[in-house]
Structure 1
Amino acid sequence: MEVTYILFCVVCLLMIENGQGNTFWEYKRLYRHLEENFDKTIRPVINQSKSIIVGIDFNLQAIQGLDEKEQVLQSSIALTCNWKYETLVWNESEFSEIKTMYISPVDAWIPDLIAGNSIDSLYVLTENRADMLQIKVESNGDAQWYTGGNIRTSCNVGITKYPFDVQHCTIVISKTTPDTEVHIDALRDQVIRVLYKENGEWALEKSIIEKRVIFGYTTFLDITLTLKRHSLFYVLNIIVPVFLLSFMIVLCFKIPVASGERISYSISLLLTFVVLLNLVSDSMPRVPKHISYLQIYISYQLTVAVVITSVSILLIRATHIHDDSLSSSLVSVYSQCYNLSKRRKLVTSRPVEAIEVNEDIRKTESPKHSNTDTKSKTVTRPGSPERRKFFVHHIDNLLFFVFVSLFVISTLLFMVLVLL
């Protein structure tokens, strides 16, 4: 009988030593022992003149979206808060070596954290205690608590380099009490991204945590997220079509005036350009304080398209009229400049070349007599349609090179501005 009692005692001691004594009744006894020290309104420090230090780790789980029009960042975050719960300390040996207790935030004290730039509510992190995770308390008083969720914070969006833009959004974490009572501090200077899920539109380039103190007694933790837009979709659907249309509108100067298709070609491209601009304007963020280089570039190309269409109409009119209108006057001015340049070449060129050029000018300015055909005789007057078509052809070539040069320069300038 004594041997059996001794064996029973040995087994009980081994069970207690191996943690098998952590039964429901032991936890209940410990909870009752600590229950009288629960108070959600008084800071859990013995000396109330001291400040309680709360260390915070910031965990970023996802960037759900950035609304450029509303300038709102929606993200999913989790905060790990650590502090010393001096009023909840026990001796493990008196409670079957229980090392950890979990306490509801409804009954215990938690730091009153706020999201300083939240759109919905400042108290989004602590406003519903019943739905929060429990506080983990160690036997030495070390407490750990998790909070967070989906929050919407303000973000100043800059669209100058859209769609190659980089946004810097800040999530501000603070508290309602001064530092003399509760002092918050970041446990590290980087955001934890172990559980982070990549966003389809934005890439997280960098995430840092900075400590900021204002008025000398209030601490803020600024979590700055650097987001870079994935621009391939916008390049294929906006920028490339704008480049192609801008170049095609210049090609109208290569369409012969006699074909009669130049006006319809220019008008069709101009209308296509307008439709594309409407689609682009709907997709671009409406930020009144900023204007993107893409908006300026598209507006410039639309203006060039209007100018090209207007010039094409004047040139076509110049080849089909016989009065002194604006278009015929422009052709006359160009013809005079053309003839003047020919005469200047006579002075600087060799005698043989001068004779050849002089003959060309005479053929252009004086009536032409055909020696080979005696039956027909064609006379080209200074204001004849043939002469106008000749100079319109030269004007077309000149304008083509001018507008192609403008297209290349403006496109290179746009790419340099948005990519640097």
Structure 2
Amino acid sequence: MGIHFMWIYFSFLMVPPVAPLASLISTVNSLYTSTREDSLRTDLFGSYQKNSRPAPLVDIRCNIKLLSIKDLNTREQSMSSVAYFTFTWNDTRLDWSGNVLYTDIEEIYSTESELFVPPIVVENSVSNLGLLSDKTLPIQIAQNGKITWSPGNIFDTACNIDSTFYPFDEQMCSITLTTRGYKSHQLTLSLEEVPLILSAYQENGEWTYLRSSASTAVVARGTDYYSQVNFDLTFQRRNTFHLLSTILPMFFLVSLTCLVFKIPVDAGEKLGYCLTVLLAFAVYLTLISDNIPTTSTNTSYLSVFLNLMLAFGVMSCFLTILVINTHFKPEEEEIPKSVESIANCIAKMVCWRQYSCCRRPNNFTVDVLSLSEKNNSENTIGKGRGNRYLTWQDVAKILDALFFWVYVWLIVAMTILFTITMAVGNKG
């Protein structure tokens, strides 16, 4: 029993007290003072030359943190993005990890006025061709000499807009960084493991972010070669607004064009209705012209479709005038044999009245002699044409039926073709 108590006593003596250990840690952490950092800065920057690069080949690792897409302008072919870059490199002249006097100072901060900062530009910028710079931005210097620099801004960059499948289009825009002054064998740009960071990205109301990619390259300017990094961003247009404000109203207006051939000529509103629909279509095109891209590099299928529909509207006015002119021809004017034959064929095609698509009519016959006796007039409309005849009014109605179905099938076919083209293009 005595031996057991002695073992517990010696074990208790061997355990260091907790309070003195915590006090020791607190003492070490409290060694930092501004005076000691001033002393460290004096040692580091005493002979430091910011215009000299840290090594024969400086590797600048970079990535981009995208915050939002301010605008993607299809007319000006530019993208405005809110982002900041993070560049890291090693400067062995600022390494104090081996100096035991400052091991408690893990990092310090400085600015461009004191440090070597790589000269980098946004190559495809459309608003500012100067170097990336922020003289007030703190630059982190780690104990091992690792420099971390994160300049941010609103970057306006050129973007090659392809409006072929507008408003179901996808656009890929790039942000290109290139070194200036130092050539590729002196300063090189490389990518971090995660080139694009979207943790703080805010979705745009018009464009949806789809994917991104990044690549490095060496570009030639004359006989010299410079390092370059490309960040490619792909966005898809949100098309709900365009469906409701552009495409659906267009389909409704186009459907009204067909109905002009269902209005009887005697109503007196046929040509007025046609011109009203055409005018509404023209005004509508004027209103949506601001939303359709005006670039001539690629032609939008939507623009082609709208112009075709406008052409159909114009042609309907000509056809309406033809129908009205045919309807009001004098009854004394004999219908040519060729016109009557064509009208009979068309009547069968469109199943007009007693005409059938599959058989000849049997009950649409008129005895010319009985008709003449009944009317007791000298006007024998069907004279010289056997016992079947058509009047000019009948021909006009047959033309109305023909044009109605032609327009219906043309508009349906064009709409289906337009939809399939957009769907295939959107998947592509």
Q: TM-score, normalised by structure 1?
A: 0.84
Determine the structure 1 residue equivalent to 2:116.
109
CA RMSD of aligned residues (A): 2.9
1-side partners of 2:71 and 2:104: how far apart?
Answer: 47
Are 1:183 and 2:188 an aligned pair?
Answer: yes
**1:211 aligned partner, one-letter code:** T
Corresponding residue for residue 149 of structure 1 = 153
Q: Which is worse superposed, 79-88 or 207-216?
A: 207-216
Contact 1:262 1:312 in 2 (8 A): yes
Matched, 1:195 2:200: yes
Q: Distance in 2 between matches of 1:223 and 1:341?
A: 62
Query: Do the aligned partners of residues 380 and 221 (structure 1) sit closer, same or farther apart at CA in structure 2, a change above 3 Å counting?
Result: farther
- 2:142 matched residue in structure 1: 138
Residues paired across the two proteins, number: 384
* Residue-by-residue CA offset, 1:87-135 (whole Å, 9 max, x unaligned): 0111353126111111111111111111011112222522xx423x222
2:267 counterpart of 1:262: no
Question: 8 Å contact 2:332–2:381 — kept in the other structure?
Answer: no
Post-superposition Cα deviations, 1:157-178, rounded to whole Å, max 9, x if no partner, equal 1111111111111110111121
Secondary structure of residue in 1 paired with 2:277: helix
Aligned partner of residue 412 in structure 1, secondary structure: helix
Q: Does the 8 Å contact 2:329/2:392 carry over to 1? A: no
Q: Deviations over 1:321-366 (max 9, x none)?
A: 32999xx97x9744222447899xxxxxxxxx87x73x63454xx3
Stretch of structure 1 that moved more, 266-275 or 396-405: 396-405
Q: Which structure 2 segments of 5+ residues have no match?
A: 1-19, 349-358, 384-388
Residue in structure 2 matched with residue 250 of structure 1 by the alignment = 258
Q: Which residue of 1 aligns with 2:43?
A: 33
| Alpha-carbon shift at residue 35 of structure 1 (Å) | 1.7
Partners of 1:100 and 1:138 within 8 A in 2: yes
Which residue is equivalent to 1:163? 167
**Structure 1 residue corresponding to 2:74, chosen from 63, 68, 71:** 68
What whole-Å deviation, never above 9, does each CA across 1:217-251 have from its counterpart, x for those lacking one? 42211111111111111111111111111111111
Deviation at 1:415, TM superposition (A): 1.1
Query: In 2, distance between residues paired with 1:12 and 1:404?
Result: 88
2:106 aligns with 99
Counterparts in 2 of 1:356-371, with a 5 A limit?
357=362, 360-363=364-367, 366-369=368-371
Instruction: Select which of 229, 236, 239 maps to 2:244.
Output: 236
**1:411 equivalenced with 2:415 (yes/no):** yes
Residue 16 and residue 386 in structure 1: after superposition, are their counterparts in 2 closer, same or farther (change >3 A)?
A: same
Question: Quick one: distance in 1 between partners of 2:64 and 2:145?
Answer: 22
1:303 aligns with 2:305: no
- Which residue of structure 1 lines up, in the alignment, with residue 293 of structure 2? 285
Distance 1:254 1:12, change over 3 A: closer
Distance in 1 separating the partners of 2:122 and 2:346:
74
Unaligned runs of 5+ in 1: 1-9, 344-352
Q: Deviations over 1:302-339 (max 9, x none)?
A: 111111111111211221232999xx97x974422244
After superposition, the C-alpha distances for 1:264-310 in whole angstroms (9 at most, x for unaligned) are 11110000011011112222121022211111101101111111111
Q: Which shows bigger deviation, 186-195 or 23-32?
A: 186-195
| C-alpha distance 294-136 of structure 1, shift in aligned 2 (>3 A) | same
Cα deviation code 1:43-88 (max 9, x no counterpart): 123xxxx201111011111110011111111111111111111101
CA distance in 2, matches of 1:247, 1:190: 51
Aligned in 2, Cα 1:70/1:288: closer, same or farther, shift over 3 Å? same
Decide whether aligned partners of structure 1 residues 141 and 389 sit closer, same or farther in structure 2, where only a CA change above 3 A counts.
Answer: same
Q: Which residue of 1 aligns with 2:29?
A: 19
1:402 and 2:406 equivalent?
A: yes
Which AA in structure 1 matches 2:212?
S
Contact 1:136 1:145 in 2 (8 A): yes
Secondary structure of 1:360's match? coil
The alignment status of 1:211 with 2:221, answered yes or no, reads no
**Alignment pair present for 1:174 and 2:178:** yes
Contact 1:65 1:74 in 2 (8 A): yes
222, 235, 238: which one pairs with 1:227?
A: 235
Contact 1:37 1:88 in 2 (8 A): no
